[in-house]
Structure 1
Amino acid sequence: MFKFAGKVLSVTAAALMVTSAISSAQSLDEIVEAAKKEGMLTTIALPHDWCGWEGILAGFKAKYPEITINELNPDAGSADEIEAIRANKGNTGPQAPDVIDVGLAFGPSSTKEGLLLPYKVSTFDGIEVKDPDGHWYGGYYGVLAFEVNTDIVKEVPQDWADLLKPEYANSVALAGDPRAANQAILSVYAAGLSAAGGDASKASEAGLDFFKQLNEKGNFVPVIGKASSLAQGTTPIIVRWDYNALADRDTLNGNPPVEVVVPKSGVLAGVYAQAISAYAPHPNAAKLWLEYIYSDEGQLGFLKGYCHPARFNQLVSEGKVPQEILDKLPPAEAYTKAVFPSLEEQDANKNAVTGGWDSVVGANVQ
């Protein structure tokens, strides 16, 4: 079910330019001791209700209590994370992130800019999508879905075109600002894939046109959708990653009732990548954090949050995934139509959406 595939997620040679030499080899024990001496890890953009991060953060703290986790802006978008690295190049204080969790398209561009520190975790060989020199690697993926408050929305939309119907006036929101947040940027692409009949070359333009129509019809709500706004009825339909929507469904526990729908077309899978800042104030704590994330324990933490982790196939083949976790995941057939856009396609879409949203759609999402 984990469909990372080299031919689909191809990376151009230019996108993999090496910006610095691989650091000298350290044993895990040496990294642990050095990280404990540093005593702190600064993360950014890790909301506790996203993809199991709450449990993963708790697991790391329990395993390494000597290391304090300093959490910056949990609601930051991928572009915000990259800007935080740029803005803190000479800063060793608490505002400089050590590690980032960004949309896949931000990995190669940040590597070319020299913003990421190459490091290969001990489970590197089992990771399917990665920079060969270890500047970044895919951590998990999900598909974009509709999260629906069925107390308010009685006729649940089943596909993107349904969202244009008049019964969804003042109802549809994105889970981020499409000028900065990877989730929202890819939501535009997914809508465009559906509108363009699966033609990736037309997806960005068609996606912007779709949201222009959605806005003109009065169906689009220019508010960043969250579980709270869903429950309050401000944004009764949110386009967001399936794992976030499923986690909200559990958290809200029927108040209000939530239905999560993977659309019939335009099923887009998004991969998020992990990386270490080239200017990390705590580089050894950062390495230890990645070691934990890509360990069996960390990978199962993603699964508990409804995400498909990088080493999913390997863990299943080795019988390391408890059946109770597998039983809570959506059925495999929901993902059979999932499209994994290449890095080149994602990068082109990111430029088209961030550059064209204001002029085409004209909705200030905040």
Structure 2
Amino acid sequence: MLAGIGLLAAVTVGLTGCAGSGGSAPAASGGISEAKAKTATSAADFGGMKGLVASANAEGHLNVITLPPTWANYAKIIAGFKKKYPKIAITSANPNGSSADEVAAAKSLKGQSTAPDVFDIGTAVLNQNLGLFAPYKVSNWADIPADFKDPAGKWYYDYTGLMSIGYDSSKVSTPPTSFADLLGPSYKGKVAIKGDPTQANEAASAVYLAALQSGGSADNIQPGIDFFSKLKKAGNFLSVLPTQATVNSGQTPVVLQWSYNNLAFGAAGGSAGNPNWKTVILPGSALGSYYNQAINVDAPHPAAARLWQEYIYTPEVQNLYLAAGAYPATLAAMQKNKTVNEATLKTVGEPPANFVQLTADQATKAGTLLSAKWRAAIAG
């Protein structure tokens, strides 16, 4: 179990999203021109943070995408941005979408005011679409470890959880202690993952953890694909996208997903959560996968996009990630600078020593194998 995971369920997770209406992106009167904003690589290009804020206020809008309110505290994060910058409305599109959906939206909406300005995107999909991202370095660039960011600033890690098993204790009499348990008859028709592993990083990470737990490795995820093939043949694998509603109704009584999302489905979800929902981190290798922040090279609101990135990497927001059970990218720097919320960190627990994350090359290789093998593995 993740240290303090039972206590973490008491951490409040915001459950109401914030959205604004769409709008066009005018030239940044009161700041630099829109053309210059699109090529700005730091706040210095705006004359400093005051200039960046002025330019973003002139645009008056920000489009984010695939940020569920309960995911890593994004309801509070979005609400905090709106409170801090009230002249900037936010449209939060397709909150339950995948990393692949983010890319598809950027391509199909290119040149339109509704295109996404920023991405929160999985590594495998990011690496396949590097041409979509604009270089930009946030003011506390040095707080992000060197191996957590692109040297040019096209992307940078923001947070990671640990891949976990969530289950409804009122419907699962024997708690899972291993992946092998999930193949048993008591789990028939009960196990779900967060979408298509060839499209969604969270779903792919469930396969990667299955590989680690079944004799595979970050360099060999085939055992994970084989596990899900067995799960399907046993009649235990559900082709249902799990949500709070499917968890509460009992339709998806077991879900493999990030720890912060399983926690949000339980008591931490407040009145909307399932009080019987438990979260398990299996012993052995703990699988994480940092998501990446990036700016759309064709962002319709380029200054607001850059201001969002500055906001995301403040200790305020990095601590909000932590409060949801997600380890922020700047955690080490915050500990050194004494800006981390120590009470929250104590509740969540330090990142595990046996943490495994696929490298960019490993994720690309794994994604290629999934694309070739996944559908055949779960056919029938």
Shorter-chain TM-score range: 0.7 to 0.9
How high is the TM-score relative to the length of structure 2? 0.84
- Equivalent residue number for residue 251 of structure 1: 269
Q: Counterpart in 2 of 1:11?
A: none
Instruction: Find out whether 1:64 has 2:85 as its counterpart.
Output: yes
CA contact (8 A) 2:119 2:296 kept: yes
Kept in 2, the 8 Å contact 1:151–1:256? The answer is no
Equivalent residue for 1:235, pick from 252, 268, 291: 252
| Alignment of 1:222 onto 2:239 | yes
- CA–CA separation in structure 2 for the residues paired with 1:182 and 1:226: 16
The residue number in structure 1 matching 2:74 is 53
**Equivalents in 2 of 1:255, 1:70: separation in Å?**
28
Structure 1 counterpart of 2:217: 199
* 2:293 paired residue number: 274
Aligned 8 A contact 1:159 1:265 in 2: no
1:168 paired with 2:187, answer yes
1:319-356 Cα deviation digits (max 9, x unpaired): 22233312331x347x2322111111111111211332
CA distance in 1 between partners of 2:60 and 2:40 (Å): 24
Moved more, 260-269 or 161-170: 260-269
- The answer as to whether partners of 2:194 and 2:203 remain within 8 angstroms in 1 is yes
Deviation at 1:23, TM superposition (A): 4.1
Q: Give 5+ residue unaligned stretches, structure 2.
A: 3-37
Which string of whole-angstrom CA distances, capped at 9 and with x for unpartnered residues, describes residues 241-266 of structure 1?
Answer: 00111122211568441211011245
Q: Does 2:331 correspond to 1:306?
A: no
Q: Is the 8 A contact 1:192 1:266 kept in 2?
A: no
The structural deviation recorded for 1:226 is 1.9
SS in 1 for 2:279: strand
Alignment of 1:324-335 (within 5 A): 324-329=343-348, 331-332=349-350, 335=352
- Quick one: distance in 2 between partners of 1:143 and 1:177? 19
- Distance in 1 (alpha carbons) for counterparts of 2:124 and 2:264: 25
Residue in 2 that maps onto 1:125: 142
Distance 1:194 1:241, change over 3 A: same
Aligned to 2:158: 139
Q: Which amino acid aligns with 1:328?
A: T
Q: Does structure 2 conserve the Cα–Cα contact (< 8 Å) formed by 1:52 and 1:306? A: no
Secondary structure, counterpart of 2:158 in structure 1: strand
> Under a length normalisation based on structure 1, what TM-score does the superposition of the two structures give?
0.87
SS in 1 for 2:252: coil
SS, match of residue 356 in structure 2: coil
User: Residues of 1 paired with 2:40 and 2:309: CA distance?
Assistant: 16
- The residue aligned with 2:99 is 78
Letter of the 2:269 counterpart: T
* Residue 377 of structure 2 corresponds to residue 356 of structure 1: no
Contact 1:160 1:265 in 2 (8 A): no
1:155 aligns with 2:155: no
Q: Deviations over 1:62-91 (max 9, x none)?
A: 000000001110011001101111112232
Unaligned runs of 5+ in 1: 2-19
**Partners of 1:81 and 1:168 in 2: how far apart?**
33
- Give the counterpart letter for 2:219 in structure 1: S
Partners of 1:158 and 1:233 in 2: CA distance: 21
Aligned with 2:102: secondary structure? helix
CA distance in 2, matches of 1:320, 1:23: 26
Cα deviation, 1:138-157, whole Å, max 9, x if unaligned, reads 00011100011001111110
Question: Residue type matched to 2:343 in 1?
Answer: E
In 1, are the aligned partners of 2:124 and 2:364 still within 8 Å (CA)?
Answer: yes
Does the CA contact (< 8 Å) of 2:197 and 2:203 recur in 1?
A: yes
**Per-residue deviation, residues 41-60 of structure 1 (Å, max 9, x unmatched):** 00000100000111110110
Distance in 1, Cα, partners of 2:309 & 2:254 = 34
1:318 aligned to 337, 354, 358, which one?
Answer: 337
The CA RMSD over aligned residues, in Å, is 1.9
Q: CA deviation at 1:185?
A: 1.1
The code of the aligned residue for 1:46 comes to L
State the distance in 1 between where 2:92 and 2:372 align.
Answer: 30
Q: Give the total of aligned pairs.
A: 337
Identity of aligned residues (%): 36
